[in-house]
Amino acid sequence: MPLPLRHLAISPDGSRRWARARGLPPEAGYLGAPQRIVDLLDAAHGHGIPFVSIHVMNRSNWARPAAESGAVMDAVADLAAHLEHPVAAGTLAVTWVGHRDRVPHSVAEALTSLGAKSRAEAPLNLALYVDYDAQHELREAGGDLNHLAPIGYPPVDLFVRTSSDQRSSGFDPLRLANAELLYVLGGFPEFGPEQLRNAIAEYRRRDRRLGR
What is the reported pLDDT for 207? 76
Q: Can you tell me the distance from the alpha carbon of 150 to that of 97, in angstroms, rounded to the nearest whole number?
A: 7
Q: What is the pLDDT of residues 44-86, one digit of tens each?
A: 999 999 999 999 998 888 888 898 899 999 999 999 999 999 9
Q: Give 95-118 pLDDT, tens digit per residue.
A: 999 888 899 999 999 999 999 999
Whether the predicted pLDDT of 169 surpasses 80: no
Compute the average pLDDT of residues 88-92: 98
- The residue-averaged pLDDT of 118-132 equals 95
What lies within 8 Å, CB to CB, of 84 at 6+ separation is 114
pLDDT at 144: 55
Output the pLDDT for position 28: 86
For 138-161, the pLDDT digits (tens) are: 666 555 555 566 888 999 999 999
**Strand locations in 112-190 (E):** 124-132, 158-162, 180-184
The CA distance from 197 to 47, in Å, is 8
Instruction: Give the separation between CA 186 and CA 162, rounded to whole angstroms.
Output: 6
- Looking at per-residue confidence, does 170 or 94 come out higher? 94
Nearest residue to 108 via CA among 118, 117, 97, 119: 97
* Residue 148 CB neighbour total at 10 angstroms: 17
Percent of the chain with pLDDT over 90: 58
